[in-house]
Amino acid sequence: VSTTTLSLSPVLPLDSFGNVLLFLFNIFLATAIVSLNLSVFLSIAINRALRNENRFMYMLSTCFSDVCSGLSYYYVGVLDVQDHYDSPTRTYYVAPTFLGLSYMVILAAQADRYHAVAAPFAYGRRMTRGRTAVVIACIWVYAFFIVGVNNLVTVSAAKKVTSIGTFVCNVFTVVIMIGLNIRLYVIAKYHLERELPSPERESKRSSVYLIVVVAVFFLATWLPIFLHIIVCNFLGSSCYSFRNEGSDPLRVLPRVNAVITPLLYLRGCAPLRETLYTKVWKALCPTR
């Protein structure tokens, strides 16, 4: 183990009010990510009715990956860490993978909602709970397969593979996510209005609106770093211009989204809120 790893200092020297404020903010952000996502994860896990719906299985996945992302942020965000290939303080591509998992699962959830609303009968036959679990499992296996590959090949080879893969993935997934957002909004705005009032219609509408809003906030917090990486790929320059991860606003924004997402889940789903208040938080903080 290198001496650099053993003598890590705070994200910035604690010699000014601004640096102390940033240090405390990153601790608060990591704590908020872990506590909110763990609360929502437990609320879904203990509620059988929620677990039986495919959309909540995607929520389970994003909450779990964001909990891991929040735990890793105590290291990469609170301390003086540069998480890239040739850095002695790197996380071997694990910490950014948890962020990427949330992104991929939310994209899959958008496709799932589009399928459910655009072709409800076909969706009911094809996307069983087991198949949804397989889709989510494949995303996780693929993500950590890439982690393994990046850690087995040479640094130069890993940089080339990741540079090309990230560029292509960013362009295509952003276009797909924006396109699905527009399409889902059109469906929610027009198609669902034509259906007769029923609990099923209201459930469809709320699930579509929720995933659209989640995706909008996701894009708002991720697009700056996506555009930065794309520009860096075109120019052939380094994308790590800040001192470390915790002081780089482009890398802090996706972590802020990891706080916004569970709040949106709670805001958009009354049964989830009720489970959180009456079972999870009440069990953690019982009143006398």
Q: Which residues on neighbouring strands pair with residue 79, listed in sequence order?
A: 10
How much of the chain is in helix, strand and coil states, percent to nearest 5? 80, 0, 20
Of the chain, the percentage scoring pLDDT greater than 90 comes to 44
pLDDT (average), residues 88-110: 89
Query: What is residue 254's predicted lDDT score, i.e. its pLDDT?
Result: 93
Residue-range domains of the chain with CATH: 17-279 (1.20.1070.10)
Q: Work out the pLDDT band at 73, boundaries 50, 70, 90.
A: very high
Q: Work out the pLDDT band at 286, boundaries 50, 70, 90.
A: low
Of the chain, the percentage scoring pLDDT greater than 70 comes to 85
Helix (H/G/I), strand (E/B), else coil: 236: coil
**Tokens of residue 280, six digits:** 């999870």
- Residue 80 clears pLDDT 80, i.e. is over it: yes
Q: Work out the pLDDT band at 78, boundaries 50, 70, 90.
A: very high
pLDDT (average), residues 109-115: 88
- Residue 2 clears pLDDT 70, i.e. is over it: no
Which contacts (CB < 8 Å, 24+ apart) does range 140-146 have?
140/61, 140/101, 143/97, 143/100, 143/101, 143/104, 144/97, 146/93, 146/97
pTM of the model: 0.88
Q: Which stretch of 59-68, 88-97, 112-121, 248-257 has the lowest confidence by average pLDDT?
A: 112-121
Q: Work out the pLDDT band at 288, boundaries 50, 70, 90.
A: very low
Angle between helices 94-118 and 199-235 (to 10 degrees): 140
pLDDT (average), residues 238-264: 88
**Tokens of residue 272, six digits:** 């989830």
Q: In angstroms, rounded to a whole number, what is the distance separating the alpha carbons of residues 147 and 72?
A: 15
Q: Which residues on neighbouring strands pair with residue 10, listed in sequence order?
A: 79
Q: Which stretch of 122-126, 174-178, 201-205 has the lowest confidence by average pLDDT?
A: 201-205
Q: Work out the pLDDT band at 100, boundaries 50, 70, 90.
A: confident
Give the closest residue to 102 by CA, choosing from 57, 141, 64.
Answer: 64
Task: Count the neighbouring beta carbons within 10 Å of the beta carbon of residue 206.
Answer: 15
pLDDT (average), residues 256-268: 94
55 and 211 Cβ atoms separated by less than 8 Å? yes
152 and 92 Cβ atoms separated by less than 8 Å? no
pLDDT (average), residues 10-24: 94
User: Mind listing the pLDDT tens digit for each residue in 140-187?
Assistant: 999 899 888 888 877 777 766 666 666 666 777 778 888 888 888 787
Q: In sequence order, what are the residues at sequence separation of 6 or more whose Cβ sits closer than 8 angstroms to the Cβ of residue 50?
A: 43, 44, 56, 271, 272, 275
Task: Tell which wins on pLDDT, 23 or 288.
Answer: 23
Query: What is residue 42's predicted lDDT score, i.e. its pLDDT?
Result: 96
